[in-house]
């Protein structure tokens, strides 16, 4: 979401306030930028945007610095093979967070659970890509490029940290139910432009990390890196909510699938045009947006909630958004009946299945 969509004025925001949570840091790391550059060169959806959607000067520098490597095997392997199997949007960032660059070598982490990760890449293709990626890293002298631009990345970190510090991360446990041995991380990427992604990592020993990969980078009138609070904070909440909402929709999918498919089918071409190409994606986004609005309702903000809801209903065709927002009030009012969001899912399921087009559309 870019500035201008909705004017929101946030009151009583303190950049040093972290609501009792261990401080969450905004980081710009080499691993995600390396994969972003290769995805950008390969024309992957989610890594190529117009000049008014990403930092045009930085994109131009990337294109110039790596022009001679557009035919590198890592790039062509992505363009000709991986992108057709699901290597787009959030997935490249999911892959990037599974390895570390250690003294020029790509070292794969083997302590993460697989879950649905390998539905979008085979183990064979992952291994081949990482090998080609390491070759790209050396031949393109990527480390030099990244080091040269470290001052820019530091500026991004400092600007985003102001937004991160305003988030009440304790709200997630209070709203969805406590999640023990978990942490939040925020990563940045200029090349993902207005796109933003959620990457939920589960470790084999039980630890979980809620990762928000944030784009929405801009410059102010003085040319300084700027993340507008009125559009960046809701997006950050949105990406974190995905790690809670998506697993719930997936667990109870069989009970809402028919109604979700009916809603999706009515506007299938439109949903596909905004990268929500199946009923589950639409339900995930709708559930997440409803939770974001509940967060904003319970924290010190000054804006027209009704405008926000209408934007979701009309511009995104999230026809269930208003109903879900309303029932979530019931859970907040009765924590003794619904200690966690999981306990509340029967009410959520009933609300989804009771949707009738004539009575809900506005």
pLDDT at 94: 97
Prediction pTM value? 0.91
Residue range 219-236: mean pLDDT, rounded: 93
Q: What is the DSSP letter of 211?
A: E
**Tens digit of each residue's pLDDT (9 = 90 or more) over 110-154:** 899 988 999 999 999 999 999 999 999 999 999 999 999 999 999
- Pick 345 or 360 by higher pLDDT: 345
| pLDDT > 70: percent of the chain | 93
- Pick 211 or 356 by higher pLDDT: 211
Query: What are phi and psi for residue 14, nearest 5 degrees?
Result: -115, 125
In 3D space, the residue among 318, 20, 329, 21 whose CA is nearest the CA of residue 175 turns out to be 329
pLDDT at 282: 98
- Banded pLDDT at 230 (limits 50, 70, 90): confident
Residues 8, 4: Cα–Cα separation, whole Å: 10
In the sheet that holds 197-202, the strands lie side by side as 26-27, 182-188, 208-214, 197-202
**Tens digit of each residue's pLDDT (9 = 90 or more) over 177-210:** 998 899 999 999 999 999 999 999 999 999 999 9
Residue range 301-324: mean pLDDT, rounded: 90
Listing DSSP states for 135-203 in one string gives HHHHHTTHHHHHHHTHHHHHHHHHHHHHHHTT--THHHHHHH---TTEEEEEEE-GGGTT--EEEEEEB
Q: Using alpha carbons only, how large is the chain's radius of gyration in Å?
A: 21
pLDDT at 307: 87
Burial class (CB in 10 A: 0-12, 13-18, 19+), 243: buried
- Banded pLDDT at 236 (limits 50, 70, 90): very high
| pLDDT > 90: percent of the chain | 84
pLDDT at 172: 97
Contact 163, 190 (CB under 8 A): no
pLDDT at 64: 98
């Amino acid at each position: 979401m870019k500035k201008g969509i909705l004017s929101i004025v946030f009151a009583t925001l303190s950049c040093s306030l972290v609501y009792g949570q261990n401080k969450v840091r905004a980081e710009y790391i080499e691993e995600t930028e390396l994969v972003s550059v290769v995805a950008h060169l390969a024309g992957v959806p989610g890594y190529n945007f117009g000049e008014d959607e990403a930092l045009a000067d930085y994109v131009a520098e990337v294109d110039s610095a790596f022009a001679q490597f557009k035919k590198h095997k890592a790039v062509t392997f992505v363009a000709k093979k991986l992108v057709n199997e699901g290597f787009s949007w959030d997935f490249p960032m999911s892959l990037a967070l599974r390895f570390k660059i250690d003294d020029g070598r790509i070292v794969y982490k083997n302590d993460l659970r697989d879950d649905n990760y390998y539905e979008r890449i085979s183990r064979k293709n992952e291994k081949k890509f990482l090998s080609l990626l390491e070759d790209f890293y050396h031949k393109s002298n990527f480390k030099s490029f990244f080091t040269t631009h470290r001052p820019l990345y530091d500026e991004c970190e400092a600007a985003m940290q102001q937004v991160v510090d305003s988030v009440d991360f304790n709200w997630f446990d209070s709203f969805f139910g406590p999640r023990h041995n978990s942490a939040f991380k925020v990563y940045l990427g200029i090349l993902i432009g207005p796109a933003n992604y959620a990457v939920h990592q589960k470790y084999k020993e039980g630890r979980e990390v809620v990762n928000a990969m944030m784009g929405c980078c801009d410059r102010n009138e003085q040319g300084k890196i700027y993340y507008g609070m009125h559009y960046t904070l809701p997006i950050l909440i949105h990406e974190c909510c995905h790690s809670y909402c998506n697993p719930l929709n997936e667990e109870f999918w069989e009970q809402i699938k028919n109604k979700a498919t009916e809603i999706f089918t009515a506007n299938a071409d439109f949903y596909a045009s905004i990268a929500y190409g199946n009923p589950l994606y639409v339900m995930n986004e709708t559930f997440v947006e409803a939770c974001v609005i509940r967060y904003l309702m319970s924290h010190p903000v000054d804006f027209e909630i009704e405008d926000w809801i209408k934007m979701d209903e009309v511009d995104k065709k999230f026809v269930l958004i208003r109903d879900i927002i309303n029932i979530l009030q019931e859970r907040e009012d009765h924590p003794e009946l619904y200690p966690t969001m999981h306990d509340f899912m029967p009410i959520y399921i009933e609300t989804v299945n009771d949707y009738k087009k004539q009575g809900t559309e506005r």
